[in-house]
Structure formats: structure tokens, C-alpha cells
Amino acid sequence: MLFERCFNSIGAKTERKQRKMARAYSVNEVMSMKKKTIQFSGAWADAFGAPERTGVWFVWGQSGNGKTSFMMQLSKELCKYGKVAYNSLEQGVSLSMQQTLAQHGMIGVNKRFVLLNREPMSELSERLVKPKSADFVIIDSFQYTQMGIKEYLRFVERHSNKLIIFVSQADGRNPDGRTARKAMFDADQKIFVEGFKAVSKGRFFGPVGSYTIWEEGAERYWGGTSGKPKHKAKI
């Protein structure tokens, strides 16, 4: 028993010595780093500025508030800057998804957009390490990944060269589930969808800070400029 304790202690010390300490950067070094950004224009720039091309976004909202429409519009916009893979874990290639694709004219970005039919996260992970894989990855929805926080962290770390966008169901004004809430806090960009508006709550803002998904629906929901809902969206 004493030998085992000594052996474990020596092993732990050796492991600590072998670990490389992370590099520390000066302010000047950090400021001189060149970061690749998405040069949004128009309403997208007004809402989200020029965000980094890699990292994690987290989008959540209750059903009936325009979340799916927002994701299709965002996917179409991102196709201007690279390839998009949309993992439809919740809807798959159902009739409702066909209708959504048609409604938002996704045939126009057919060469840069692929829809994955409930692809398991392990298979998606292998897909993303292949040459010429998608630049932007949308996973809808987070609850269907069945990931714990450790699996989530491993996944995003492995694919740190991608922009990964998780879509989540909501419980009130928060993501649904403890792991989803932890992932939301970890994300670089947080976007809450309510009343046909996508509101930036993360690190990237434009001068407006929100994107209107559907003008008529947003006007009915918010009514005027008070910032308070006039009518609740159907859930």
C-alpha cells in the first residue's frame, strides 16, 4: 500500500512536469493578432457587427417566435461567406423541413448548403475533420444531441476552427435544461429569439443589436417602441 502511494505520487509529479505551461501574451501581442471575421452588411451588421469566423454561437427561444425562420435566414446569409452544414436533429428531412426550405428559397444556395438528416454527433464530428468540410455548422436542436457538458466541451474544442451554432429549445426566457444553460454561458455569441426578433446578448453587437425576422409579426408582438410585448406569440 505504501509503495502504491509513493508510485502514484511520483507519477503525478512526473505528469505535472511534463505538462507544458500555456503561453502568456503581452497586450501588444494580443492587439496585433489578426482575426478572421464575417463582414456582415445591412441588417445583419446592424444586429451583430462583424463577428469572428470561428467559435460558438447559441440561439434559443420558445416555439412560435420565429426561431426556425431566423436559422434559415442566418444559414442563407452565411452561405455568402462559406459552406454551411445544418444538422436537423429535431425535424430531420420531414415535410415541415421541406416546406421551410422552400419558404426561404434555400434552393438558391444549394451549392453551399447541406442538410444532415439527424446525423449522430459522433458522425458529425468525423465529417467536420475531413478536408473541404463546412465552415459553419448549425445543430438543431441542442436537446437532441444528448450531450453532457463534458461532451459539449470536447466537441467544440475539437472543432475550434469552425463556427458552431447550437439551436436550443427554451424554458421561459432561458435555454431548456441545465447542460443547455451551461453551453449558453460558454458561447461567444448568445442570441435570444422572441416575438420575431433575434436579440444579441453576447459579445458581438451592431448599432441596433437585434435582427427583425418578420416585420409584420414583430410589429404585432411588440406594438410600438416600448420594448415590451403587446401580444405573446403562440407557443
90 φ/ψ angles, rounded to the nearest 5 degrees: -85, -50
Residue 212 lies in a domain: yes
Residue 232 lies in a domain: no
Task: From residue 232, give the alpha-carbon distance in Å to each of 63, 124, 211, 219, 235.
Answer: 11, 36, 18, 12, 9
> Which ranges constitute the DSSP H helices of the chain?
2-18, 27-31, 42-48, 67-78, 95-103, 121-128, 149-158, 178-186, 215-222
Q: What is the CATH number of the domain that holds 119?
A: 3.40.50.300
Residue 122 lies in a domain: yes
* Cβ proximity of 89 and 118 under 8 Å: yes
Tens-binned pLDDT, residue by residue, of the chain (235 aa)? 543 444 344 444 444 445 578 889 888 777 778 889 999 999 999 999 999 999 999 999 999 999 999 999 999 999 999 999 999 999 999 999 999 999 999 999 999 999 999 999 999 999 999 999 999 999 999 999 999 999 999 999 999 999 999 999 999 999 999 999 999 999 999 999 999 999 999 888 899 999 999 999 999 999 865 456 655 544 3
Residue 131 lies in a domain: yes
Global pTM? 0.86
Residue 179 lies in a domain: yes
Tell me the residue range of the domain where 152 lies: 53-222
* CA–CA distance, 137 with 141 (Å, rounded to integer): 12
Residue 165 lies in a domain: yes
Task: From residue 129, give the alpha-carbon distance in Å to each of 91, 133, 158, 162, 224.
Answer: 25, 7, 9, 10, 47
Residue 32 lies in a domain: no
> Domain tally for the chain?
1
* Cβ proximity of 162 and 138 under 8 Å: no
Residue 132 lies in a domain: yes
DSSP state of 202: S
